[in-house]
Amino acid sequence: MSPWDLVPASSVFVYETNDCKSCVEQLQQTSMWSILRKAAFYEKPADSLSTIFDVLNANRTGKLISAHTTRKDDFDFIFYIPAGKSAAVPEAWSKLKVSEREFNGIKIYELSLHKQIFSWSLIDQVWVGSFTPFLIEDVIRTYAADDGSPFKNDIAAAYQLAPVKSDAGNLYVNIKKFGQWLSSFTTESPDLIKYLGQSSLLDIKSTPESLVLNGLSLDSADQRFLLSIFTNQVPVPFNLKTVVSNRSVMFMSYGISDGTKFGDALQKFAARKKPKFKDSIAYVNNMTGVKVENLYSSIGKEIGVCFLESKDETLSKVLLLETSNGDQWIQSLNTIAEKTSVDTIFAETYSDYEIREVPVVNFAEKILWPLVTDFPNCFYTRTGNIIVMAQNLDELKEFLDDIDQENTWGKSVAQNKFLESTLLEANISLYLNTPMAWNILTHSLHPKWARFVKEHQESLDALGMGAVQLSHLNNSYYTNAIWSFDESASAAVTNDKNDKKDNKDRNKTNKYLTNFSESISRFFVVQNHSTKKDDVFIQDSSNTVSLVGDDGKVLWSVDVNKPIQGDISQIDYFNNGKLQVLFATAGQLHLIDRLGNYVSPFPLTIKENDPDFLSIVDYDHSKKYRFLISGKSGKLWMHDKGGENLEGWQPKAVGGKLSTAAHHHRIRGKDYLIAVREDGTALLMNRRGETLKNFPLNLDARFSGDYYLETGNSTATTSFVVVSRDGLRIKFNLEGKILSRESLIKTSPDAVFKLIRDKNDRNYVIVRQDSRRLTVLDENLHEVLSADFIGNNAVDVKLYTFGGGKEYITLTDKTQDLSFVYDTKGNLLTNVPIESRSIIVRPSRTDKPKVFAIEGKSLSIMPL
């Protein structure tokens, strides 16, 4: 009897070994194998494993391993080894305490080690074993059945394919069960995989940099799976990479060579699986007069879905649809938007784009299911021949910014290097940016696997980009799956002391120290528009400003005569992709380019001689900048690009000092300018400086710190959040109504509070400080960290959110000139405090940030 005849129907996949011993050994030496083994035997005692693996690793030829879902959050394996006339109890275990029981007339042996039971049996000269006893019973039932191996029957077509011999083995996959198996790890397993296909046969190969699976995947004879949609399509290149944001956690790409045949196949598939979508399209057609099905013929070569990390650490989707007739798509979408809008048609100009909304719930899903799912809202625009749709208006704007700034996969050296290792042409491709994915996955993992990720995070950091691709080939689909990994990152987490020392020495060489002749008073990290690296803009006590490169070298210096007031900003003054630095001093506005030259007509004389804050206003992202200056006396001035003071802002008196800079927000196509005074009064104004109805709003509390904007998809669901010094969190809306007034917990009578908004406006924290300790709370009022070494000392707290789980909080004790860096899980990342008067952190390729710090006359740039 063959081991194949014993494989139960419950098997998700089966791994079959071959005779290439060196191939298997090479695979087992990779960090990927190490991670897979840790996951496969997670929470099983190590000493029992070492005993059992001595037997399992023997007799490789003909051995099978099948995977099975055993609980909602767990899985296990069955091991099959041709035994011939060998004894049922391996000699290595003969001295151990082994119990016996019988099931359907066949003996089952069980070995108990540290509450872990390993069961096995000898069935017709095939030895089978598992850590889950009932799986052995499944094998016995399969043996007793008359219809052969149910799993082999399920994957019959794949089993008939010829596997490669000179590799690390073969993987036979039941695709539908594989989709169900993913639910063992996460509560949000995508339905797409369950619909994808019937079975796959994949060969396993490894290199020091990657694990590669390639082979063939098959649809069923009646073409009931998603692969049938691409039966009449040929593979196409991945050209959408030029518009895929570098912030993408995952990207699904669908290659289409014939839009008409694709549309017919997609509609037939949807009608068979979910008939209600056909009814939905008919409803849209009847209501608008647009025949949605006619749009399929002008679909271009690709459809793609970007999955990006949103503010609440969930995934937001952006749909990219290449067309051969962009005008037809936009005209049809505009007509649908006009016919289905109840009150007003939403339309907004943003840079060179016109953004509109189709107010039909799940419109994108209705026309493209199952390629697009869970897409409740639809904001759309066009870039070239690509229609861009998004669930969220702000996410769409950020995505368009990434395209304009060439912050895309097509312009990324690292991404292109990986993409060169994948199939150049495909019909279905899934690309996963694994380092960015862990932060999102953690929130949807079952508790057991969330613990696993936390315990093995350093090992998991070795994983890089991954891709799974399928290309139509005759009556099957050539399949290629590749996962890259960084062996150097894996080596960095070993227990080898020499490796750790080498890493420390390497970090030292990346530290730069720049000394100035005068003490440094202010500093800011800016972007080099040419290299995209971080430069440092500083001002010393002599009022000289300098630009320092990322290697610590001073590039130029300019004397500006007076101290900088407020923050600096980088703007693209000439709208040509080059950035300049804008800042204010008493009575002047300055704009200096990257070479240290003033941009004409700057410096400009302004009437505000005591500026407090400077903000940039760009109403429609067209680079027609306005400069909003807040005076310490409570006056607001608005200047255009030429420095002229605009009507309504000559000045606009707000009645008192502001607690933070005034800012502009565009919400559902309308412009709002908000100013919050320290005495607890909020003002909301329009572009002309006119105070809106129900404002000024007296919030009856004194503020310090920032405000935070909670943006919804309507003005009704949008609100501002502020925190008072004595511990009130207040939310108010655009209509001047106070939505909530919440008292925060005081740990002592002298406790004071402050809201700190992160530098990318993605979230906020609340700082509570008293004489005993400083505590940082997240927006849900859960404690993030607590520091008892600061007390009532003046402290500067900053929050940084860079995405992909790279979130940091910095504390600088202004009395002791000591700085500390934490992650948002409360872990202190600086075992030794950084001696500094101020610090800034920026992301790096590792899981630790880069730190910029000033102390006296010195600027330090160093990895943490």
DSSP string, 711-751: --SSGGG-EEEEEBTTSEEEEEETTS-EEEEEEPPPSSTT-
pLDDT of residue 243: 97
Structure-token pair, residue 638 = 């608005």
Structure-token pair, residue 517 = 């002749």
Rg (CA), the chain: 31
Phi-psi region of 502 (alpha: psi -120 to 50; beta: other; left: phi over 0): alpha
Instruction: Say how far apart CA 634 and CA 512 lie, in whole Å.
Output: 41
Which residue type is seen at 258? Answer: D
pLDDT of residue 488: 52
Nearest Cα neighbor of 387 from 369, 399, 370, 373 is 399
Q: What is the DSSP string of 652-711?
A: EE-SS-BSS--EEEEETTEEEEEEEBTTSEEEEE-TTSPBPTT-SEE-SS-B-B--EEE-
Contact 7, 151 (CB under 8 A): yes
Domains of the chain by residue range: 3-201, 245-412
Which residue type is seen at 510? Answer: N
pLDDT of residue 730: 97
Beta-strand relationship, 379-383 and 199-207: unpaired
269-272: which pairs have CB atoms within 8 A and are 24 or more residues apart? 269/226, 269/228, 269/229, 269/370, 270/369, 270/370, 272/224
Instruction: Say how far apart CA 633 and CA 656 lie, in whole Å.
Output: 6
Contact 723, 755 (CB under 8 A): yes
Measured on CA atoms in the order 813, 816, 819, 825, is the torsion positive or negative? negative
Structure-token pair, residue 645 = 């003071």
* DSSP-derived 3-state class of residue 504: helix
Query: What is the DSSP secondary structure assignment for residue 189, as one 8-state letter?
Result: -
Instruction: Say how far apart CA 810 and CA 828 lie, in whole Å.
Output: 10
Instruction: Give the relative orientation of helices 276-288 and 326-340 as an angle to the nearest 10 degrees.
Output: 80
pLDDT of residue 504: 42
Which residue type is seen at 294? Answer: N
pLDDT tens digits for range 166-179? 788 889 999 988 98
Instruction: Say how far apart CA 805 and CA 807 lie, in whole Å.
Output: 6
Below-50 pLDDT ranges, the chain: 59, 489-508
